[in-house]
Structure 1
């Protein structure tokens, strides 16, 4: 697919409608483009790339909302609350740390961030044995914790 300015502007507009934070919306667009490119490089034929990426945007936004909802019970438990402005910065910090990891770790964590948490599905998607996926995931998380500092967890 030839990525035109129109395609990118349509993706960005959709992402901004789904997520109010412009930085997170841009991250969502990049994730959708990366997902499309990764699938294409692995031989998947995507007949309609734009609808595919629009769906990826919608799923990514939904996954972000689910993660935010999972944080809500912590807020009501009397723990110190993170200001609304700080959470996107922390999310961005985590995503930047993921991007600095070695490619195998980065690819695996991107799938987890996108919402795929079943080891069998990750193994199938990546063409690896489940045990390999589990050990790589443990190493990737350990490297991510080290990159962010242990106190972040």
Structure 2
């Protein structure tokens, strides 16, 4: 895990991207924030050898390659899995089935998009602080 690497946010809603950009700017984490509108473009970016992101925040329902399909590709690709990139769902698509499917796919977290800025900031802060303190196999 590259704690100084970029944060990849895969979100097909431009308004949600704008809100998340504002939250990250306010929280002032030094990581670059890179947005993608679909999972396929994110996968193409992640396949670059020079890219080792800090974490991925992914919506579930997206065009071309949804969050579950993207997670599966990252988990089963040896080159990508060795990068140890935490993969978290950040979605409004909350259901018991979605959460079960997410954890069955070894997703490291399932977070619901909050409806207020204060709650959204708190959630992003908790996510960032947790992963900043975590150790990963490639930290040694």
TM-score (normalizing by structure 1): 0.29
The structure richer in strand per residue is 2
Structure label with greater radius of gyration: 1
TM-score (normalizing by structure 2): 0.30
Q: Larger relative contact order (C-alpha < 8 A, sep ≥ 6)?
A: 2
